[in-house]
Amino acid sequence: MKMTLAEIARVVEGEVIGAADAVISGVAPIDEAKVGDITFVANRKYAKQINTTRASAIIIAPQQWEIVGKNLVVVSDPYVALGKLLKLFYPLEHEQRGISPEAYIEEGAIVSPEANIFPRAFISHGAKIEKGVVIYPGGYVGRNVSIGEDSVIYANVTIYHSCIIGKRVILHSGVVIGGDGFGFAETGKENVKIPQIGFVQIDDDVEIGANSTVDRATMGKTWIGRNVKIDNLVQIAHNVVIGENSVLAAMVGISGSTKLGRGVIVGGQTGMVGHISVGDRVMIAADSKIHKDVEAGKIVGGKPQMPYKEWLKVEACRTKLPEMKTTIERLVKKIEDLEVKIDKHLK
């Protein structure tokens, strides 16, 4: 593909500074770009490479950096613009076209002839697969599952029975949707299993990273809202609700019946207890442990959680603990010596 800077500017809603007729044939990192490539700067630490890159053009925010002899496309968010261009220049190609005769489709399944089903995919009876859906080898679709238009189910994804997958959902390899929630009575004694009879609902435009799991509800539904983005190795327990546009980084664990609002951002390796509520637009620092409700708009961190600025102060002290311990021990010794002197004086 080749595009002029003027055409690119229209796509990313930016403004050209320089040669609008310059032809671009690829997108590359700033230190690897060559003539004909367009690159981007989204972080100020890369600004020093602006004058040395060989790229024919740079996507940049409206900053006051001094730039000599470079074609620019000025946008409000260079990273968002980069995403648009990568989709344009390097569209995802699914090699399979149509339904492979080597796919196993049970009687009673409804599969659109416009779906792309790879060999060794398994689709159970009662399942409904809409047009544009791609299911890679090893994909298992349980009975009465529905998958909306243009969703992509990568290799070895398992979707248990009765789950609902929306449109344009992406499930990466190893994802398990609708496994039983962790429900047991008399834990530590007989460990009696509580049947998990609910389901999972995943709304449109959700993406879930490799080897993540979303458990079915005990009753009712586990619900992942529209445009939620979930990283690899995330565990979402039964009856959890995650509000639209939220983002969960890798290795997050959310216990049963916890509810996240809209636009929540959760750092990696964060754990949450069950039956709590996290409000809209909350931000949680990585490796936090959330043990109680968090009000909307708050920024928290630490284990247990605390206001973010307070947590930063605690962390700043952590490396000084050995020195502080020595100081405290010295002060305690001085106080003990002083008490001995006072006792002798009183006697």
Q: Judge whether 268 and 281 are in contact, CB under 8 Å.
A: no
**pLDDT at 51 (0 to 100):** 81
Poorest-pLDDT segment among 23-32, 80-89, 128-137, 180-189: 180-189
pLDDT for residue 44 is more than 80: no
Report the alpha-carbon distance of residue 205 to residue 222 in Å, rounded. 17
Task: Give me 74's structure tokens.
Answer: 């000025």
Task: Give me 329's structure tokens.
Answer: 């021990």
Tens of pLDDT, residue by residue over 112-171, are: 999 999 999 999 999 999 999 999 999 999 999 999 999 999 999 999 999 999 999 999
Report the alpha-carbon distance of residue 221 to residue 233 in Å, rounded. 21
Tens of pLDDT, residue by residue over 209-266, are: 999 999 999 999 999 999 999 999 999 999 999 999 999 999 999 999 999 999 999 9
Task: Give me 95's structure tokens.
Answer: 């090699």
pLDDT band at 66 (very low <50, low <70, confident <90, very high): low
H/E stretch holding 216 reads none
Tens of pLDDT, residue by residue over 192-223, are: 999 999 999 999 999 999 999 999 999 999 99
Query: In the predicted model, what is the mean pLDDT of residues 39-55?
Result: 84
pLDDT for residue 16 is more than 90: yes
Query: In the predicted model, what is the mean pLDDT of residues 45-64?
Result: 85
User: Dihedral sign, CA of 87, 249, 29, 77?
Assistant: positive
DSSP tag of 294: B
pLDDT band at 50 (very low <50, low <70, confident <90, very high): confident
Amino acid at 121: A
Tens of pLDDT, residue by residue over 83-119, are: 999 999 998 888 778 999 999 999 999 999 999 999 9
Q: Judge whether 233 and 213 are in contact, CB under 8 Å.
A: no
Peptide bond into 195 cis (omega under 30): no
**Is residue 238 flagged as an active site residue?**
yes
Residue 19 phi, psi dihedral angles, 5° rounding: -85, 100
Report the alpha-carbon distance of residue 19 to residue 37 in Å, rounded. 14
**pLDDT at 46 (0 to 100):** 76
Say which of 94, 125, 172, 238 is annotated catalytic.
Answer: 238
Report the alpha-carbon distance of residue 309 to residue 332 in Å, rounded. 31
**pLDDT at 65 (0 to 100):** 62
| Mean pLDDT computed over every residue of the chain | 94
What contacts 24+ positions apart, CB below 8 Å, involve 301-305?
301/267
Q: What predicted TM-score, i.e. pTM, was given to this entire model?
A: 0.88
Report the alpha-carbon distance of residue 263 to residue 244 in Å, rounded. 6
User: Dihedral sign, CA of 305, 309, 311, 312?
Assistant: positive
DSSP tag of 328: H
Q: Distance of CA 18 to CAs 9, 34, 177, Å?
A: 12, 18, 50
